[in-house]
Amino acid sequence: MTLEDDELERYAAVVGRVAVGTPLAEVLGELGLDEASFDALEARVEGALSAALAEPGDSPSPFVVRYEHVLREAQERARAEKGLAVMPFERFAEALAALSSGGHPVEQLEAMGVQPGELARAASAHAARLSKDPELAAALERALSKRRG
């Protein structure tokens, strides 16, 4: 199944904006889509992704790499447009370390000036980096260990 780059970009724009709370109908209207055309687009993207994931080999296919990149960029753009910038990794590590030290989680975060939703956005944003970067994961583990012990 072939999928044009502009189709993937359009799909990612919808998904990214909906992920930050923009109503689907609003996003579709702004992009000149209706629900039926988006459903068809979503089916094409899911079909292309399924086909790419089924390809043999140890490394991800070029489509999977492109999909992850385009989706991540669209989500970051949508967060920025909504004023929902992601906290820096170092601050994220500090917040997780504070949570691991005990006490009421919301109170721990509030003491740092961090809102739970902000931490959730950071976790989502940093998860992909942590899973692919052993040094970054080790830095997070060191920060957590330092706080515990």
The reply to whether 53 and 114 lie within a common domain is no
Shared domain for 59 and 118, answered yes or no, is: no
Better-scored residue on pLDDT, 31 or 109: 31
Could you tell me what percent of the chain has a pLDDT over 70? 97
Q: Do 45 and 103 touch, CB atoms closer than 8 A?
A: no
Give the range with max mean pLDDT: 12-21, 35-44, 56-65, 110-119.
35-44
Q: Which of the 8 DSSP states describes residue 31? A: T
**DSSP 8-class letter at 94:** H
pLDDT beyond 80 at 139: yes
Instruction: Note whether 77 and 11 are same-domain residues.
Output: yes
Tell whether 45 and 98 lie within a shared domain: no
Q: Which of 52, 81, 110 is the last residue of a domain?
A: 81
With a CB cutoff of 8 Å and minimum separation 6, the contacts of 145 are none
Tell me: do 19 and 76 sit in the same domain: yes
119 and 70, same structural domain? no
CA distance 42 to 36: 10
CB atoms within 10 A of CB 44: 17
CB-based contact 112:95 (threshold 8 Å): yes
- Alpha helices, H only, 54-133: 62-81, 89-100, 105-112, 116-132
96 and 40 within one domain? no
pTM here is: 0.59
The tally of domains found in the chain comes to 2
User: Does an H or E element contain 30, and which?
Assistant: helix 24-30
Considering the domain architecture, whether residues 24 and 66 belong to the same structural domain is answered as: yes
Inter-residue contact 42 to 3 (CB < 8 Å): no
Give the integer Cα–Cα distance in Å for 118 and 19.
14
- 102 lies in the same domain as 75: no
- Check whether residue 77 and residue 14 sit in a common domain: yes
* pLDDT of 140 strictly over 60: yes
Residue 149: pLDDT over 60 = no
- Show the tokens assigned to 105: 């989680």
CB contact at 8 A, 36 and 5? no
Q: Which of 23-27, 34-38, 78-82 has the lowest mean pLDDT?
A: 78-82
Q: Which of 64, 81, 98 is the last residue of a domain?
A: 81
Q: Are residues 98 and 69 in the same domain?
A: no
| pLDDT for the residue 147 | 65
pLDDT at 107: 86
DSSP letter at 61 equals P
More confident of the two residues 104 and 34 = 34
Based on the fold, state whether residues 67 and 15 are members of the same structural domain.
Answer: yes
Domain that holds residue 93: 89-148
Q: How confident is the model at residue 148, as a pLDDT?
A: 61
Q: Which of 22, 52, 81 is the last residue of a domain?
A: 81
Question: To the nearest whole percent, how much of the chain has pLDDT over 90?
Answer: 34
